[in-house]
Structure formats: structure tokens, C-alpha cells
């Protein structure tokens, strides 16, 4: 009798605990045609649309069971693309072969990032979470593997790396961080930069790519002066996994939705928030204090008061051990800029999460958040904008707004504000197929380097001289723009490379305001009896605050002009279109948006 009674209780408890949870934990991918505004609003308000992909007028979404129910009940037409995303992930990856790795994007730069950034030896193929792919393929790093990598780095580079914990997760797991800098044990007066990953537990590349970045910095420190200067003149702090409980749950084998090879789609942390057993987890990136819980007039993707929602913002701002740890750590430092890495979507989501509640960015802030994301995205093609401009919905209580204007900010806190943003790596899935891991890491690595440069002295030089050099003795004109957050004095030097007799002395100046410019020139002379048409080459060097950048320039001495057309006349003066007739439907001059002068030449001058 007793035994029967006990079994009955246990069976009842298991049913009570597991049924609501498992009912939540199947994820499906759907294609939702957004044919009018109401459907878009429905997606944001009832489906917690988050990190979706738009294909033309179609929205590609991953939905949990209750969101799928809401979609079915809505009556809106949709196409079920994948019934069980986790199982599909495993099946898809099991067919990937080691020789089928996606190359890194070339982006809109002239060199290939896949060649510029080599995979660190210590990173190798990453971790053991291969999502069902065979050995020999790259994999995501488990949290314990991340920790091992960080320990190995601290052991191998004790003067450059320190490993520490910023606090514990809800389950008591240490949240590990590393500092990378020269004289790492000393708190030097160098710009401090912060990288965080895996606030959202399923956005796997956001953590693994930060381990790649750490190892890239360390392995190139001795051999690459650019990396050495960066590490020597910055204090780089990296927290690869803010949410270790949620991340580990996604490869825990807790159910078919969480296979031990990875691919689980849990988003929040794993704290039981009270009440029903299924009330688990807070969306950490809705738990910061700026605009916390203020989603009036916005959709549910903004944040939700429902404990079972994927965007539950928690009972109060900083209610979670993980966000408390981040807050305490940020308050203990003097960060100047930061990126909180997420995926997927291919964009930089900038302040504000709720732009409708704040004065638009202006001045230096606007310049920083325009120029720096453009540089960071040179090789990954990311777009940039505030939350509605990128993710298409408003976000309340996100980390980026707190970094910029929270209780550490210039408004109410003791320190300067932190120029924070959210990065959404590409890859097309929360767990991008494993043959994209290396490419995504390389694309993120370049982005991360650019942000570290921008934390301190960083300048762009523009050579303002014509392609044709016509004077034997003259001046090389340059314009330097300040794009870094520090404004130390800068020195511009011309280094002669080819066919330059003399060059003048270096010039030094200070650009006090962010995005300000300094225009000047350095004299030169060419060898006596120099012959027309010969090549002249020199290097611009800009040095400031221990960081040097170089740009090689080629010019021609009095070249023979074959054709000179400033396009201010008529197309037919110099040109004959052979592909299609000149005129409204083919090649011709147009005055629409000319770069210099009043006209330019276009393949379809009427714009179609
Ligand atoms: Zn995210």
C-alpha cells in the first residue's frame, strides 16, 4: 500500500514537472508571408519574433510549441519548413563532410579574411559539439571546454592572460572571464574594452568565436606588430559565456530537444522563477535596468512579463545572478566600448533598444555608431542600426542601452559611458552548421579587432593627391580623421619606397573632438632628371598612443593622358555604347547623385 502510494506520488510529480516543460520545448521553423502590417504585428506580439530572417516579404521564424499553437489559431497562412529544428540540425550536420567547410566572406574589402586571419593552432577544430557531424569537422566548445582553453592560455601566456570569475550563475557555475594585455597583472591606464557572449544560451557561435579571438591575439602577439601594439595598449576583457547554465542545458541530453551533441534551443537562464514548475528562466538581455519592463506600445519581442515567455524580463531589473555579475564587473572597471555577441542575423544592433523613448544619437555618439560598425562589418557584410532598424522590433532592458546610459553612464554614474552594441553573427541558424564555424569565427575576429582599435587612439588617413604627380618638388597632402575614442597626439610620416629623393619631416597634431579631421602636407622631391610615366611609391604612417597604421600609395609622374573626360559634356563626345543603345535605356551620363562635378556615367542612367 505504502509502495503503491509512493509510486503514485512520484509518477504524479514527474508528470507535473515534465509535461509543461516538454510541451514548451519542441521548436519548429516556419515561413510566414508578411503580406500586410497586421501579420508583422502579430509575429512580434504573439510569436516573440526574435532573430528571424526576412526573405523578401517572407519571415523565417523558429517557434516553440505555444507559439506554434498561436500561429495555427491565428488563421494566417504559413509554411512549415522544419517540424523539429533540433532533430533536423543533427540530421543535417551528420551529412557534412570535413572537406565541405564554408570559406569566409570576402566582404567589400580587397583581401580575403580567410587568408588574413589564420585559425589559431590552439583553437584547431574548436570543440566537441559537432551537432551530429563526424569527427574531423569543427565543433562548438562546451562550457567546460571553453574553460580548459582559457586555462591553457593563462598557463601558456602568463604575462598576457589572467583568468578569473566574475561571479556565479543561478546554478552556482563560475562565469569565467579573461583579461588580455601586456603586464596583465597590473591595472594600467589603457583603454578598456569588453566582449560578452552567450547571454542567449542557444546562440552558440557567440561564445566559441570569442575563444577563437583570444587565441588569435595570443598566438600572433610575438610575430605581428599590429597585434602586439593592440594588446600592449589596451586592456581587453572577454566573457565568452554569460549564461553557462542555459548553454550547458542545450547539450545536456535532458530530452530529445537537448542532444548531447548540442543544438538545443533554450534561450534564457535556468533559474526557477517561482510558481509552476515550468516557470524557468529569465531573458538576460531583457534584465538590465534601462527601460526595464517598459514595453508599453511595443511588441512582446520587446520583453514579456510572462514567466513562460522566451523574452521574460524577470521580476525586477538585475534580478538574475548572471546580470548582477556583469553589472558588478562593469562597475569595477572603466570600459569605453563593448560588444555583446549574439546570433543570428548579420547585423550590429546599436542603441537604442527603444528609440521611441529617447533622443536620437547625435554628435560624437552618432559618428562612432556610424563609422565603427562599418569598419567592423568590412568582411561580414553586417548592416547596422538601432533595434527597430535591424531586428525590426524594440528591445527594453538590453545590455547595450545600460552600457551607454545606465547607472554607470555619464548621466547618473561615476564613470564615462560605454559605447555598447549588440553583434548578431550570421550563419542562418542559432547553431549554424558546423562547416560555418571557422568562417564565422574569422569574420567575428576581424570585427573584434576593429572594436579594440576603436577603444583608444585610432585614425584614418586619406591621401588627397591626384593620381598624377606633376611637380618635381611638391607637397603630399593628407587628411587624418579621428575614429578612436582616445585623442592622443598623432604623428604622420611619409616613408619613401620607390623613386623619391627626399621627404619632409613628420607632422604632429592633436584632434580634440571625435571624428574631427586634421589636414596638412609633407614635402617631397623626386630624383633629378626623373622621366615622365615612372612610378612613385611611398607609405603613410600614422602613429598615436603606441598604435601605428600604414597605407602604401602608388602615383605616376606626369603620365601620358590617353583620355580625359570630366563627363560634364555629352556622352557621345567620347563614348560609344556597344552593349545597349546610349540613351534612356542604356549607358549614358546622369546627374543623379554625382560624386564630383554635376554628372557621372551609369549603365542605366534613368535608375532602372
Ligand atoms: Zn540573442
When the pLDDT of each residue in the chain is averaged and rounded to a whole number, the result is 89
Looking at the DSSP bridge assignments, the partners of residue 549 are: 542
Give the confidence band of 435 by pLDDT, cuts at 50, 70, 90. Answer: very high
Calculate how far, in angstroms, residue 433's C-alpha sits from the geometric centre of ligand 1: 18
Which has the minimum average pLDDT: 229-238, 320-329, 375-384? 375-384
For ligand 1, a single-atom ion, the residues with CB < 5 A are: 200, 203, 342
CATH, residue 470? 2.60.40.2310
Cell numbers that stand for 558 in this block: 606626369
Please give the distance, rounded to the nearest whole angstrom, from the Cα atom of residue 199 to the centre of ligand 1.
7
**Same domain, yes or no, for 40 and 75?**
yes
Calculate how far, in angstroms, residue 480's C-alpha sits from the geometric centre of ligand 1: 36
Task: Give yes or no for a contact between 533 and 557, defined as CB atoms under 8 angstroms apart.
Answer: yes
Q: Is residue 13 part of a domain?
A: no
Instruction: Kindly state whether residue 103 falls inside one of the protein's structural domains.
Output: yes
Residue 413: predicted pLDDT: 55
Same domain, 69 and 123: no
Given a cut of 60, is residue 12 above it in pLDDT? no
Q: How far is the CA of 501 from the centre of ligand 1 (A)?
A: 56
Q: Within a domain: residue 550?
A: yes
Catalytic status, residue 424: yes
- The two beta strands, 507-509 and 517-525, are unpaired
Is residue 105's pLDDT more than 80?
A: no
Distance between CA atoms of 170 and 272, rounded to whole angstroms? Answer: 9
pLDDT at 448 over 60: yes
Q: Considering 59, 83, 107, which residue would you say is the last residue of a domain? A: 83
User: How much distance in Å is there from the Cα of 198 to the middle of ligand 1?
Assistant: 8
CA of 190 to the centre of ligand 1 (A): 30
4 occurs within a structural domain: no
Any idea how long the chain is? 608
Q: Are residues 325 and 189 in the same domain?
A: yes
The separation between CA 286 and the C-alpha centre of its own chain, rounded to angstroms, equals 19
Residue found under cell 555604347: 577
Q: How far is the CA of 203 from the centre of ligand 1 (A)?
A: 6
Secondary structure element (H or E) that encloses residue 492, with its range: strand 490-498
Alpha carbon distance 118, 120 (integer Å): 6
Helix axes 437-454, 225-232, angle to 10 degrees: 60
| 15 belongs to a structural domain | no
Per-position b or e across 261-277, b if 16+ CB within 10 A of its CB: bbbbbbbbbbbebeeee
User: Which position among 229, 235, 322, 424 bears the catalytic label?
Assistant: 424
3 state DSSP class of 222: coil
Whether residue 10 is predicted with pLDDT greater than 70 in this model: the reply is no
Residue that terminates a domain, selected from 454, 469, 484: 454
What's the pLDDT tens digit per position in 382-431? Answer: 889 888 787 777 899 999 999 999 888 655 555 778 999 999 998 888 99
Any domain includes 8 = no
CATH number at residue 343: 3.40.630.10
Q: Residue 580 is part of which domain span?
A: 565-608
Query: Residue 332 domain-assigned?
Result: yes
CA dist., res. 314 & res. 311, Å (int): 9
Q: How far is the CA of 246 from the centre of ligand 1 (A)?
A: 13
Output the pLDDT for position 296. Answer: 86
Per-residue pLDDT tens digits for 470-501: 999 999 999 999 999 999 999 999 999 999 99
Q: Does residue 503 belong to any structural domain of this protein? A: yes
CA–centroid distance, residue 80 to ligand 1 (Å) = 23
The per-residue b/e assignment along 174-195, b for 16 or more CB within 10 angstroms, e otherwise, is: ebbbbbbbbebeeeeebbbbbb
User: Are 359 and 407 part of one and the same domain?
Assistant: yes
How much distance in Å is there from the Cα of 353 to the middle of ligand 1? 13
CA angle 168, 171, 176 (to 5 degrees): 35
Q: How far, in Å, CA of 180 to CA of 193, rounded?
A: 10
DSSP codes joined into one string, 325-390? HHHHHHHHS-EEEEEEEEESSSEEEES-SSGGGSPPP-HHHHHHHHHHHHHHTTTT--EEEEHHHH
Describe the crossing of helices 437-454 and 205-220 by its angle, rounded to 10 degrees.
60
Domain end among 436, 454, 472: 454
Could you tell me if 450 and 360 lie in one domain?
Answer: yes
Same domain? For 246 and 353 the reply is: yes
- Is residue 432 domain-shared with residue 542, that is, in the same domain? no
103 lies in the same domain as 162: yes
* pLDDT given for residue 414 in this prediction: 59
List, in order, residues 6 or more apart from 243 with CB less than 8 Å away.
Answer: 169, 198, 199, 200, 201, 268, 269, 284, 322
Closest alpha carbon to 286 in 311, 306, 263: 311
Domain count, the chain: 4
- The most confident of 32-41, 439-448, 562-571, 581-590, by mean pLDDT: 439-448
pLDDT at 578: 72
Question: How many angstroms is it from 254 CA to the middle of ligand 1?
Answer: 22
pLDDT, tens digit, 9 for 90 and up, residues 67-86: 899 899 999 999 999 999 99
Instruction: Write down the pLDDT at residue 579.
Output: 64
pLDDT: which is higher, 504 or 572: 504
Between the CA of 455 and the centroid of ligand 1 the distance, in Å, is: 24
* Residue 418 and residue 485 in one domain: no
Residue pLDDT, tens place only, 32-71: 998 888 888 888 777 877 667 778 888 888 888 888 998 9
Residue 180 grid coordinates? 588580455
What's the average model confidence in pLDDT over 134-158? 97
Say which CATH number the domain at 40 has: 3.30.70
Report d(CA 420, CA 348) in Å as an integer.
10
Please give the Cα distance from 440 to 229 (Å, whole number).
Answer: 25
Are residues 478 and 344 part of one domain? no
- Is the predicted pLDDT of residue 14 greater than 50, yes or no? no
Structure confidence by residue, pLDDT tens digits, 546-580 = 999 999 999 999 988 888 888 999 988 998 877 65
Question: Same domain, yes or no, for 278 and 293?
Answer: yes
Report CA(298)–ligand 1 centroid distance (Å): 18
Cα(316)–Cα(49) distance, integer angstroms: 23
Residue 46 and residue 59 in one domain: yes
Amino acid at each position: 500500500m505504502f509502495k503503491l502510494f509512493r509510486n503514485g506520488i512520484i509518477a504524479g510529480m514527474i508528470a507535473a514537472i515534465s509535461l509543461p516543460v516538454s510541451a514548451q520545448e519542441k521548436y519548429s521553423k516556419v515561413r510566414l508571408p508578411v503580406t500586410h502590417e497586421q501579420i508583422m504585428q502579430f509575429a512580434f506580439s504573439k510569436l516573440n519574433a526574435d532573430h528571424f530572417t526576412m526573405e523578401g516579404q517572407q519571415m523565417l521564424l523558429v517557434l516553440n510549441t505555444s507559439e506554434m499553437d498561436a500561429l495555427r489559431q491565428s488563421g494566417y497562412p504559413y509554411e512549415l519548413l522544419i517540424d523539429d529544428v533540433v532533430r533536423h540540425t543533427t540530421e543535417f550536420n551528420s551529412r557534412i563532410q570535413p572537406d565541405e567547410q564554408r570559406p569566409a566572406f570576402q566582404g567589400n574589402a580587397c583581401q580575403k579574411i580567410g587568408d588574413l586571419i589564420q585559425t589559431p593552432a590552439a583553437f584547431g577544430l574548436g570543440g566537441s559539439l559537432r551537432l551530429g557531424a563526424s569527427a574531423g569537422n569543427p565543433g562548438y566548445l562546451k562550457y567546460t571546454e571553453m574553460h580548459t582553453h582559457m586555462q591553457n592560455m593563462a598557463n601558456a601566456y602568463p604575462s598576457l592572460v589572467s583568468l578569473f570569475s566574475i561571479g556565479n550563475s543561478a546554478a552556482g557555475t563560475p562565469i569565467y572571464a579573461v583579461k588580455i594585455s601586456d603586464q596583465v597583472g597590473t591595472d594600467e591606464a589603457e583603454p578598456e574594452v569588453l566582449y560578452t557572449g552567450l547571454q542567449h544560451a542557444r546562440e552558440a557561435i557567440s561564445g566559441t568565436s570569442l575563444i577563437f579571438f583570444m587565441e588569435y591575439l595570443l598566438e600572433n602577439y610575438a610575430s605581428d606588430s599590429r597585434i602586439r601594439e593592440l594588446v600592449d595598449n589596451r586592456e581587453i576583457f572577454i566573457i565568452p559565456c554569460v549564461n553557462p547554465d542555459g548553454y550547458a542545458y542545450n547539450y545536456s541530453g535532458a530530452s530529445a530537444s537537448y542532444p548531447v551533441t548540442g543544438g538545443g534551443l533554450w534561450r534564457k537562464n535556468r533559474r526557477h522563477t517561482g510558481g509552476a514548475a515550468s516557470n524557468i528562466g529569465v531573458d538576460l538581455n531583457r534584465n538590465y535596468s534601462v527601460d526595464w519592463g517598459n514595453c508599453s506600445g511595443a511588441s512582446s519581442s520587446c520583453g514579456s512579463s510572462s514567466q513562460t515567455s522566451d523574452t521574460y524580463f524577470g521580476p525586477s531589473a538585475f534580478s538574475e545572478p548572471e546580470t548582477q555579475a556583469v553589472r558588478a564587473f562593469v562597475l569595477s572597471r572603466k570600459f569605453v566600448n563593448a560588444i555583446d555577441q549574439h546570433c543570428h542575423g548579420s547585423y550590429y544592433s546599436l542603441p537604442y533598444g527603444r528609440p521611441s523613448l529617447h533622443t536620437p544619437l547625435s554628435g560624437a555618439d552618432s559618428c562612432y555608431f556610424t563609422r565603427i560598425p562599418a569598419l567592423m562589418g568590412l568582411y561580414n557584410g553586417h548592416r547596422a542600426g538601432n533595434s527597430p532598424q535591424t531586428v525590426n522590433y524594440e528591445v527594453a532592458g538590453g545590455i547595450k542601452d545600460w552600457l551607454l546610459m545606465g547607472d554607470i553612464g555619464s548621466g547618473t554614474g561615476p564613470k564615462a559611458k560605454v559605447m555598447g552594441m549588440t553583434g548578431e553573427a550570421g550563419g542562418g541558424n542559432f547553431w549554424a552548421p558546423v562547416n560555418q564555424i571557422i568562417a564565422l569565427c574569422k569574420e567575428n575576429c576581424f570585427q573584434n579587432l576593429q572594436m579594440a582599435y576603436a577603444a583608444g587612439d585610432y585614425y584614418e588617413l586619406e591621401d588627397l593627391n591626384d593620381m598624377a604627380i606633376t611637380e618635381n618638388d611638391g607637397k603630399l597632402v593628407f587628411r587624418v580623421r579621428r575614429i578612436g575614442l582616445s585623442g592622443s597626439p598623432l604623428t604622420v610620416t611619409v616613408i619613401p619606397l620607390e623613386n623619391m629623393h627626399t621627404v619632409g619631416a613628420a607632422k604632429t597634431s592633436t584632434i580634440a573632438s571625435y571624428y574631427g579631421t586634421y589636414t596638412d602636407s609633407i614635402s617631397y622631391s623626386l630624383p633629378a632628371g626623373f622621366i615622365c610615366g615612372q612610378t612613385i611609391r611611398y607609405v603613410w604612417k600614422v602613429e598615436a598612443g603606441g598604435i601605428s597604421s600604414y597605407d602604401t600609395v602608388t602615383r605616376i609622374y606626369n603620365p601620358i593622358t590617353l583620355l580625359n573626360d570630366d563627363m560634364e559634356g555629352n556622352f557621345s563626345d567620347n563614348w560609344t555604347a556597344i552593349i545597349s543603345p546610349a540613351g534612356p535605356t542604356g549607358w549614358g551620363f546622369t546627374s543623379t547623385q554625382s560624386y564630383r562635378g554635376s554628372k557621372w556615367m551609369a549603365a542605366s542612367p534613368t535608375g532602372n
